[in-house]
Chains A and B, each alone.
Chain A
């Protein structure tokens, strides 16, 4: 499967795309991303308590918001594309 990074996630990872064998869920994917990219990734991806996505970040699985799917429990398959974005809300 493919993870695509945008805005500050490009800065945090130094890359735009990351290919991996699909883990079973978004929760597992997040664990893998934090293991792979370390503390800078944890800080921008997860809330300080670590139990939700950071309020300034959002994830789309094949273009569908995680909130419209099954949150952390959303199942993943090999053909999935997960986009990891920052909320850039300033004007």
Chain B
């Protein structure tokens, strides 16, 4: 590791959980981040900052003014630009050694099955249940670890799913094909930052081989009372996703 790189990561290499060996693991790691919005912003900055070697970003949207209260990857000058491209450029400026790929597209089942095998871990930072359901199904098919989070207003959740060890998102949320009423998702940047930072923490812990602190649990965050709570979740007896692996 060069002196400059050592300097960049000095404050975490001296952590007993990381050290030179852990930093090398992070540098060799690859993460697919689905969604570069309110959650994706802190997830991506934190993973790039930690020295994860390869990151891919999928987001089909362009930057809108209404994103800028919480999506800190972007500035006013980015309005109308492709989020995935701008995010990749910003991360590259932040850490030039980062290998970053971007895809401005809707994630389909076929695309997910083609992309996901190339990564150590997947982060879901999306704004709808339909995409979560798709990502959950493919990750469990391919035995790929999945970190998911969601927010609304002052509240949010995070989960760390490991096929073969934990229940899947379907068990947690009872996901179904039933169409949902479209609605404007409200939230503040601070909530997105809390949940996105927790998702990034989970990624780093799992990449380092440290125990999953949320195995089989949902972490619930309630910002109005600044409280966290955990709920143990059991695998559904007939779950079509995680019982058919």
- A6 near B234 with CB under 8 A, answer no
Within 8 A of A (CB), among B140-158: 149-153, 155-157
Total count of chain A residues near the partner, CB < 8 A:
25
Stretch from B93-101, B127-135, B200-208 contacting the other chain: B127-135
Could you mark each residue 1-20 of chain A with 1 if its beta carbon is under 8 Å from any beta carbon of chain B, else 0? 00010111011000010000
Q: Does B38 contact A (CB under 8 A)?
A: yes
Within 8 A of A (CB), among B198-245: 218, 220, 222, 224-225, 227, 229, 231-234, 236-239
Dominant SS among interface residues on chain A: mixed
- B152 near A63 with CB under 8 A, answer no
What is the CA–CA distance of A85 and B157 in the complex, to the nearest angstrom?
A: 10
* Residue from B40, B172, B222, B239 within 8 A of A91 (CB atoms): B40
Residues of B contacting A63 in the complex (Cβ-Cβ under 8 angstroms): 231-234
Q: Does A75 contact B (CB under 8 A)?
A: no
Q: Knowing A10-B222, A68-B236, A86-B152 are in contact, say whether A60-B186 is a contact too (CB < 8 A).
A: no
Q: Does B171 contact A (CB under 8 A)?
A: yes
Shortest Cβ distance from B178 into A: residue: A55
Shortest Cβ distance from A55 into B: residue: B180
Q: Does B187 contact A (CB under 8 A)?
A: yes
Within 8 A of B (CB), among A46-91: 55, 58, 60, 62-68, 83, 85-91
Interface of B with A (CB < 8 Å)? 35, 37-40, 125-129, 132, 149-153, 155-157, 171-174, 176, 178, 180-181, 185-187, 192, 218, 220, 222, 224-225, 227, 229, 231-234, 236-239
13 example contacts (A-B, Cβ-Cβ < 8 A) are as follows: A8-B155, A58-B174, A60-B231, A63-B231, A63-B232, A68-B174, A88-B150, A88-B151, A89-B132, A90-B38, A90-B127, A91-B35, A91-B125
Interface of A with B (CB < 8 Å)? 4, 6-8, 10-11, 16, 55, 58, 60, 62-68, 83, 85-91
